[in-house]
Amino acid sequence: MNYLITIAYDGSKFYGFQRLNELDSVQKVLEEALTKINKKEVLVKGAGRTDRGVHANGQRVSFKLDIKISPEGLKEAINSLVKPYIYVKEVLEVSDDVHARFSVKKKKYIYKINMGEYKPILTDYTYQPEYKLDIDKMKEVAKLYLGVHDFRNFVAGEREDAQAIIYNIDFEWEDDILNIIFEGKSFYRYMVRNLVGMMIEVGRGKDKITKVEEMLNSNEEIYGYTAPACGLYLESIEY
């Protein structure tokens, strides 16, 4: 049977989603749990390879099992093995052609910034800048990102094709927390953190918006700023 599950996890407790030898990763913990349930090795595919320190409220993962087990029974079995820092929210039986990564139509990421007083309890879960930010300037930067662009200067590592489409960027407040919400089809490694990073640099007056324009339009390598991982959440994925 082919399954698609929705999971949440605390990224501060893992070295990212993807398996990295024997280091603790979300993929490693899931595969070990599912292998124990299946009595045979299980490999999983994630919709997004979140980096170390990045959290998820709606990561999607697909895998195949040799045994027959109900979605509710499988949810209970996995959670008994992966809690407290990973939690399965939903389990679906799906057709064999459904793939967590390749079937994605839209992803939503949220970046959280504490604009109020510093709170130690938020250290691993929200970015807390030591300077004031001009939100209006950050919104101007966000407008530049919308649509189809070559995001090569906002992506880590070498890629032949860094073209992506961003459908929408919203700014929403939750008390003192500013949530910057990104919706798009494809987000590459470090891409959201780099996009937010340049919003922050412009918002604090360290860089001008013209640099962001150059980064989007130039074929030359232009370095920006990478926002810390602690504020980033993979919120949801649509198929």
pLDDT in tens, 223-233: 999 999 999 99
Do 167 and 205 belong together in one domain? Answer: yes
Number of domains in the chain: 2
Inform me whether the pLDDT recorded for 125 exceeds 90: yes
Q: Is 134 a catalytic residue?
A: no
Question: Is residue 83 domain-resident?
Answer: yes
The CATH number covering residue 42 comes to 3.30.70.580
Cis before residue 84, ω within 30 degrees of 0? Answer: yes
For residue 164 the two structure tokens come to 């992506």
Do 88 and 157 belong together in one domain? Answer: no
Q: 49: exposed, middle or buried (C-beta count within 10 Å: 0-12, 13-18, 19+)?
A: middle
Do 131 and 212 belong together in one domain? Answer: yes
Q: List the one residue out of 92, 86, 60, 90 whose CA is nearest residue 235.
A: 60
Question: Is residue 101 domain-resident?
Answer: no
Reported as a pLDDT band with limits 50, 70 and 90, residue 77 is very high
For residue 3 the two structure tokens come to 């399954």
Last residue of a domain, one of 56, 71, 94: 94
Tell me the angle at which helices 209-217 and 191-203 cross, rounded to the nearest 10 degrees.
150
Question: Is residue 99 domain-resident?
Answer: no
- At 137-155, the pLDDT tens digits run 999 999 999 999 999 999 9
Instruction: Give kind and range of the element (H or E) at residue 74.
Output: helix 71-82
The one-letter amino acid code at 174 reads E
Do 110 and 60 belong together in one domain? Answer: no
The CATH number covering residue 146 comes to 3.30.70.660
- pLDDT given for residue 22 in this prediction: 83
- Kindly state the average pLDDT of the residues 80-104: 93
The rounded distance, in Å, linking the Cα atoms of 130 and 186 is: 31
The residue that leads in pLDDT, 218 or 202, is 202
Question: Is residue 100 domain-resident?
Answer: no
Inform me whether the pLDDT recorded for 81 exceeds 80: yes
Do 79 and 110 belong together in one domain? Answer: no
For residue 20 the two structure tokens come to 């990295």
Do 86 and 111 belong together in one domain? Answer: no
The whole domain housing 132 covers 106-238
Cα dihedral 105, 50, 175, 201 sign: negative
Q: List the one residue out of 200, 187, 198, 176 whose CA is nearest residue 233.
A: 187
- pLDDT given for residue 237 in this prediction: 95
Selected catalytic residue, list 24, 51, 97, 161 = 51
Are the CB atoms for 229 and 53 separated by under 8 Å?
yes
- Kindly state the average pLDDT of the residues 29-56: 96
Q: Please state the pTM of the whole predicted model.
A: 0.94
Do 70 and 157 belong together in one domain? Answer: no
Question: Is residue 208 domain-resident?
Answer: yes
Do 196 and 231 belong together in one domain? Answer: yes
The one-letter amino acid code at 238 reads E
Do 110 and 219 belong together in one domain? Answer: yes
Q: List the one residue out of 56, 227, 237, 229 whose CA is nearest residue 154.
A: 227
Tell me the angle at which helices 209-217 and 135-145 cross, rounded to the nearest 10 degrees.
10
Do 74 and 110 belong together in one domain? Answer: no
Residue with token string 């509710």: 72
DSSP secondary structure, 76-100, as one string: HHHHHHHTTTEEEEEEEEE-TT--T
Last residue of a domain, one of 65, 94, 123: 94
If one counts every other C-beta atom within 10 angstroms of the C-beta of residue 62, the result is 20
Question: Is residue 78 domain-resident?
Answer: yes
